[in-house]
Structure 1
Amino acid sequence: MIELLLTGSLAFIMFSLGLSLKPQDFEVAFHQPKALIAGAIAQFLMLPLIAFVLLRIFGLQGDFALGVMILSCCPGGITSSLVTKLSRGDVALSISYTALASLVTAATLPLILSLTAPILIPQQDVGLSIFSLSLKVFSLATLPVLLGVWIRQWNPKLAVRWQLPSSQLANGLFVAVLIGVLIGQWDVFIAYLPVLGPVLLLLNLLMLIIGLAVGHLLKLNKSQITSLSVEAGFQNGTIGIVVGSLISEQLVQGGLSRFSLPSAVYSVLMLVTIIPFVLWRRSL
């Protein structure tokens, strides 16, 4: 029942994102090739690479380590666009990043996991099927976005009418999923925070810094740099929680998949950095 609620919530959140997208949003990214390249480097290359390096430095292996890699493959969510807006970043570019990342996650996530799983959990056969996992991720994360985009094209007035309430509901579902996981897994969250917290918080901070550095290196403007940093630093924990539950039913005490726990912990920890980041970027 819980897994059904999680997958349904994720599908609706991604559908809501699709409703907000117009062809112009994708054109924004392609008309700014430097910004698009920077986002691709940060999201698809640097984020998984930094996550893997941190795992090796901290000596973290096993299910939790693979859970961190799952998180590193997740795109930013609707909340990243909200953080970008609050930070006075380029919202259109942020939406483009999130949309494009959501479309390719079905391919990149299974590929990266298939490469890192034998290293992080060599003693365990996860039984990871790239095709099967790709199909599941596509169904839950990519297909709902495409459906939302199609409705926006088919009936723009209907999409505009649905956009605000669906966005509000999606944000509410994200908060509800997070609170529900925390309430149900509070003891587990506290127990594993010392193990996962340092890696996840450092990953968050390093990716924010890398996003800023890549943006400055490519001489993007301030709002674009802000968007790039947000998309690199803040990931969609809901996708990580759901994907973790799809890969394995092995649970920690309390009923949460061991592969999902890092995404749940991260979703809370990133709140620690969001407020200072927003205040700093607004002050520039």
Structure 2
Amino acid sequence: MFTVALPLALAFIMLTLGMSLTPADFGFSLRRPHPLLAGVLCQVVLLPLVAFLLIRLFSLPGELGVGVLVLACCPGGITSNVMTRLARGDVALSISFTALASLITTITLPLILTVGGRALMGTALPAVSITGLGLKMFVMTTLPVLLGVLLRQRRQALTQRWERPCEQMANGLFVLILAITILSEWQTLVANLTSLGPVLLLLNLGMLAIGTAVAQILRLPASQVSAVAIESGFQNGTVGIAVGALLVGGSGPEMGLSAYSLPSGVYGVLMMITILPYLVWRRSIQAMADPSVIEG
């Protein structure tokens, strides 16, 4: 069940993201590369590096350590776009970066897992193929996004009518996947809470701080600082859960999900809690920078 349901749920979530995009959003990335490159630096380069250092620092056990690395290689998702809007951040930048990161992840995630996984496990990860995993990532994430963009172009009225219900359904699926993950791996979670919790909390708070600092050093506007920081500290937990299942070829319902997926599930809960004070802070910053902005 999980082997089929997880990839399908993820594909639907990414399709919903694509339905909110247009080709102009991708063109936005090319016209304004400066803030976009700041996000790429934080999420694609610094995030996996910080995750690896924390895994080593806290001596996280092999499979859980790889699970954290999987999470760190995942792009943001619909949730990061929503949170950017709630923070009164630059939503166009957030959407553009999410789309770009989804494309980059198809290449970077298999490569980082191949190298990092061997370093953490002492041996190659089971059934990890750069080509195979990259292709699966493309089918589960990038292809649905592109199909969503195409659907919006060809059936704009239909897409606009269904975009909101699909987004709500996608968020519901994300919550359901998190619940299934945590319940199915409850004993593993309890057994590793003291080691897993601090790593994930520091990773989340650290990347929010790093994203904020990098954007401020580059003198980006307040709205873009919020977008870069949230994209840096908000990963797509559904992708992490699905990739974790792929690492062991999926598992039967009686087995639940593997420990590779557990960090993504726990992180999905933690980041919803830690993001709240950050949203309040960034909304106040944006309000001072531009008092005319009252929506969201």
Normalising by structure 2, we get a TM-score of 0.91
Deviation, structure 1 residue 40: 0.9
Specify the alignment match of 1:179 in structure 2.
Answer: 179
Q: Which range is displaced more, 218-227 or 271-280?
A: 271-280
1:68-87 aligned at under 5 Å gives the runs 68-87=68-87
Shift of 1:162: 2.1
Any conservation in 2 of the 1:28–1:96 contact (CA below 8 Å)? Answer: yes
Structure 1 partner of 2:148 = 148
SS of structure 1 residue aligned to 2:126 = coil
User: In structure 2, what residue type is equivalent to 1:256?
Assistant: L
**Aligned twin of 2:210:** 210
Q: Is the 8 A contact 1:241 1:264 kept in 2?
A: yes
Tell me which amino acid in the other structure corresponds to 1:22.
T
How many residue pairs get aligned? The number is 284
Query: What is the CA-CA distance between 1:171 and the residue it aligns to?
Result: 1.1
Cα deviation, residue 36, structure 1: 1.1
Deviates more, 1:2-11 or 1:228-237: 2-11
Shift of 1:211: 0.4
- Over residues 62-95 of structure 1, what are the superposed CA-to-partner deviations in whole Å (9 max), with x where a residue is unaligned? 1111111100010111010111111111111111
Q: CA RMSD in A?
A: 1.8
Q: How far does residue 179 in structure 1 lie from its aligned partner after superposition?
A: 2.2
The CA distance in 1 between the partners of 2:189 and 2:65, in whole Å, is: 16
Q: Specify every segment of 5 or more residues in structure 1 that has no aligned partner in the other structure, as ranges.
A: none
Q: Secondary structure at the match of 1:95?
A: helix
* Alignment correspondent of 1:106: 106
| Partner of residue 257, structure 1 | 258
Q: Is 2:20 the partner of 1:20?
A: yes
| Counterpart-to-counterpart distance in 2, 1:230 and 1:150 | 27
Cα displacement string for residues 9-61 of structure 1 (whole angstroms, at most 9, x for unaligned residues): 10100000001101221222222221011011011100011111111111224
Describe the superposition over 1:255-275 as per-residue Cα deviations: whole angstroms up to 9, x where unpaired: 221211111111111122111
| SS in structure 2 at match of 1:3 | helix
Residues 249, 257 of structure 1: 8 Å contact kept: no
Distance 1:64 1:277 in 2: 27
Q: How does 1:37-186 map to 2 (within 5 A)?
A: 37-123=37-123, 125-186=125-186
Please identify, of 139-148 and 150-159, the stretch whose mean Cα deviation from structure 2 is larger.
150-159
- Evaluate the alpha carbon distance shift between residue 67 and residue 103 of structure 1 in structure 2; reply closer, same or farther with a 3 A threshold: same
Q: Distance in 2 between matches of 1:108 and 1:182?
A: 27
Query: Alpha-carbon deviation of 1:121?
Result: 0.6
Which residue is 1:272 aligned to?
Answer: 273
What are the Cα deviations for residues 202-254 of structure 1, in whole angstroms up to 9, with x where unaligned?
A: 01111001100110111100000000000000101110000000011597x96
Change (3 A) 1:276 1:254: farther
Taking the aligned partners of 1:124 and 1:32, their CA distance within structure 2 comes to 40
Contact residue 185 and residue 254 of structure 1 kept, 8 A:
no
* Inter-partner Cα distance in structure 1 for 2:243 and 2:117: 14
Rounded to whole Å, the distance in 2 between the matches of 1:187 and 1:125 is: 23
Distance 2:124 2:72 in 1: 21
In 1, the alpha carbon distance for the partners of 2:99 and 2:124 equals 34
| Aligned residue identity for 1:98 | T
CA distance in 2, matches of 1:250, 1:269: 25
Question: How far off its partner does 1:144 sit?
Answer: 0.6
1:282 match: 283
Q: Is the 8 A contact 1:208 1:233 kept in 2?
A: yes
TM-superposed CA distance for 1:131, in Å, is: 0.5
Matches of 2:155 and 2:272, distance apart in 1: 36
How far, CA to CA, are the matches of 2:114 and 2:136 in structure 1? Answer: 15
**C-alpha distance in 1 between matches for 2:237 and 2:125:** 25
Q: Normalized against structure 1, the TM-score is what? A: 0.95
Aligned identity (percent) is 52
